[in-house]
Structures are given as C-alpha cells and as structure tokens.
Amino acid sequence: EYAAVRDYINGRFYWDPNENLLLYTLPNDIVSVEVGSKDYSISKEKQSKDYVILKTEGSTAYIALDFIKEYTDVEYKTYDEGASRVVIQTDWDNVKIAKVKKDSEVRRLAGVKSPILTDVKKKETVHVIENEGKWKKVRTENGCVGYIQAKALKNEETVSYDRKFKEEEFTNIKKDYTINLAWHQVTSKTANNGVLSMIANTKGLTTISPTWFSIKDTNGNITSIASAEYVNYAHQANLEVWGLVRNFDPIGGEGISSSEETHELLSKTSSRQTLVNQLISEAKNVGLDGINVDFETVAEKTGEHYIQFIRELSVECRKNNIVLSVDNYVPQPYNAHYDIEEQAAVADYVVVMGYDEHTEGSYEAGSVASIGYLKNGISEALKSVPADKLIAGVPFYTRLWFERPKTDEEFAADEGTEAENYPNKVKSSAYGMDDAAELISSMGAQTEWDDKTKQNYAQWEGDGGVYKIWLEDTQSLEEKLKVIKENQLAGVAEWSLGMEGSGVWDLILQYVN
C-alpha cells in the first residue's frame, strides 16, 4: 500500500489520487506510472515491466515491490506458513543481531505468561530491536516481532551490510563563500527601480531576494513582477538574485492566500507542473541565479504534496543551474510535515526564519526574535540539515506592543477561545531599526539590556495601558551573528532590506566573510 511505502520504505514515491499517477523523483528526471499499466515513463520515454506496476482498490493505491526495489535498497521475502506475510528489510547499517542459544519462544509481550508467537531454533539469528530488562524485543528471520528472554541470546553485535545498490545522488549547488542574503520586499514593477538605492549602502551583501512571484490561482499560474534590468543592476554590483515565490500576500491582491487553496494547488500534479514551468521560464527570461520558496501556512495534510513540489522544482533548477533555497519556520513538532530533511537532500539551501516568535496575532507581548528562539531553531534544524546547507534568517524589524487590561465585555467575547487565557488586550505594529529607536527617544523612555532575550528593552505607560518593545539593533544582531558563526552555517538572511539601522552592514561583515 502506498502509505506504507511512503512512511516506512521510500518516501520519494508519491501517489496523486486526483490524477491517478504514481511519481518517483530522480535527480534529473521524474518517473511516472499510470494505474493498471506495465509501462512507465522517464523523461517522456516509455519503458516497460512484465508486471502491473500500480493497482488501486477504491482510493487506495498499491505499488509492486519489484518496482520499489528498482529505486530502493530493499529486500523482501514472503512466508505462507500460518498467517501469510511479507518481510521487508530496508535497514542495512548498524543493525543489532544476536544468536539464539537454545530452542526458545518469542512471546507477544515481555513475560512468561504472555502468549507464544513463534518458536526459534538454536543458532538462529534474530534482529534485536530494544532491551527491556530481562527481555529483549526482537524480529525473527521470518518476520515475527515479539519478546524473548535475554538469557536465551548470545553473541549480540552491531553489523553493517555491504550492499551493491547505489541510490542516485541529488547534486547541489554550493557557494564557495558565506552567504549574506537580504530579502527585498517589492510590491510592484515600478518598485524594482529602487534597487540601486537599496543596495547602495550595503556592505558584504552576496545575494538579494526580491519578492517577485505569487500564486495567481490553484491551477499553478503565477503573477510575476520580475525585471531583467533589476538583475543586471544587481549583477553589476556582484550580487546574485534569488527571486522569491510565495503562497500568501498575492501581488496586486489577486491570488491564493489560504491553506485550502495551497492544498488544492499542490495536490494536483498538473498544477505543480504549471507552477514549476512558469517559475523556471521567468527565471530564465530575466537571468535569475536562484529561486527562493516561501510557502507558509501549509497544512499537515498538504505536507507530502508540498515536499513533492520542492522535489519537482529541484529537478528543473538542477537542469538549469539555478540555486534552489527553501524558507522554513523554526522547526517545531507541528510543522514537521515541511520535511526539512528531504528539503536538504534535494534543494541547495534550507533557510530557517529565526523570527516571528511573537507576531501580529499573538495574544501577549514578546520579542520578535529572542536569542533562545534562534538558538533552538538552529540546533533543531541541524539535526536534519548539514550546517553548510543551513542559512539562518534574522529580522531587521521589531514590534511595538500596546497592552491594556481587558474589559468585562472583552473577557466575555473571548470565552471559549485561546484568547480567554490571556488577561490583556494586545496589539502591535512593526518598526524598522531606526524608526524604533526614534520612537523610544521621542517618548523619553530608557532602554535596558535584557540578558534573557539578548535585546534592549523599553516600556512606558500611556493611553490607559503599557507600551513594550524588544529592540532589534546592532547589539541584538551581534548576539545572533555569534550563534550563526559558532555553528559554521552557510550564511545569514535578513528581513528585510531598507529596515536596517546604521552600522548593521559593518557588523555583519565582521561575522560573514
């Protein structure tokens, strides 16, 4: 069954139930199979097997194991005695095995009164799954999983098997310098004309990422404000241009912006192909060096479709020597479906946006990007992404918060929602570095260094409540840059160009060179 293949054997197999297609992504090609067929295509070239590759029963798809074996380091055996079953092995490195000392029993649970699942013979080999005191959880050669007494085993060892299977390698573009990328928020074609003034005062910048592409509809069409002239100016300044595509805040206000629309777009192979083709076409037309994907509010159910989009885009980027980078929230259990481990395998760079710890929609005031938030985000990402592929995003902006106690009416209105757990009514506005500093000065407020967040903090009373602000400035930025350098990351990315204060570029240059 497809779900078992995806979850346990090889996650690169992708089943599209809307268009009845099975896909497998290779570094430079897509393997495609239709239901009930012995044929499959690679790069539109038809090939055949002597068995049906893909079957369906209702909405459930089944893939022939022999076809899976073509692309996966897997072995399988079938057993007909008792309950018929298939035993599939995919793990070949650091496998724990042991020999059975004497004829013994494998039981359902760890205890002599637990029912016997199967008998094992002396000298038989079992795979050791985990230890449970006087018992060990094991898998027998014929695929039974259960418990055997530890004293019944001997010669436990960890082995790795020498396998002939070689998986095709996803090659990546790797820059021979530390990346210093700034996102440039561009809202119209005429706004592209400001690129020269935007980059005039920067130092050490290697890459600029203009917000040029948004999704027009769920069929995969895009809205583009890309400019070849902009790219030429950037190239003259020795900057690479990575055009950003997003699934929210559509250019001109017309386009998709919801998680449901994103699901409809990405769950259809034809729509993903349209999106990929249009992005690559625009990139080639204006001479882009890279594409930066910024998809937010992707629902858990959309995860497998989203990562398939990243795979398919990576194939075309690889063919055209275009850098592919992917933006991500700080890794949390609830966004694991973004699958940054697979992103790291197929894309060139993975970006973790170390900000929006507290956002416009937060129910309490707080830092946009405390040092702990960034540190945790980097450490979690490094569990799945090599350091030389990981870029850390930092903010050039902060939020001014206004807090006041809720009225009785507001408490009543919040009943039954998450907001009822918070005693204050809060709202916030975003400020660039210089504007935030000027605001504090105009209010006559004093800043204090908050060692927990590694930021300067100020607050003052007014309008029946309290104003609070955790500043982003050269002091807070330096603390973040230290963490990035300590972890030897691929680089830093800043949101967004034009919001930085004086001295920022000299500071970044000290840490990113």
Quick: pLDDT tens for 119-136: 999 999 999 999 999 999
How large is the average pLDDT for residues 30-35? 98
Q: Which two tokens stand for residue 258?
A: 């919801």
The predicted structure's pLDDT at residue 44: 84
Answer yes or no: is pLDDT of 513 > 80.
Answer: no
Model confidence at 83, in pLDDT bands (50, 70, 90)? Answer: confident
The predicted structure's pLDDT at residue 411: 95
Quick: pLDDT tens for 158-176: 999 999 999 899 999 999 9
Quick: pLDDT tens for 211-247: 999 999 999 999 999 999 999 999 999 999 999 999 9
Q: Is the dihedral of CA 353, 326, 323, 7 positive or negative?
A: positive
The predicted structure's pLDDT at residue 506: 97
Q: Is the dihedral of CA 456, 457, 460, 463 positive or negative?
A: positive
Q: What is the pTM of this model?
A: 0.95
Helix (H, G, I), strand (E, B), or coil: what is residue 184?
Answer: strand
Q: Which of 80-94, 137-151, 356-370, 489-503 has the lowest mean pLDDT?
A: 80-94
Evaluate whether 397 touches 498 at the Cβ level (below 8 Å): no
- Where are any strands of DSSP class E within 58-164? 60-63, 75-79, 85-89, 95-100, 104-107, 116-120, 125-132, 135-139, 145-149, 153-159
Answer yes or no: is pLDDT of 81 > 80.
Answer: no
Model confidence at 43, in pLDDT bands (50, 70, 90)? Answer: confident
How large is the average pLDDT for residues 26-49? 96
Quick: pLDDT tens for 244-280: 999 999 999 999 999 999 999 999 999 999 999 999 9
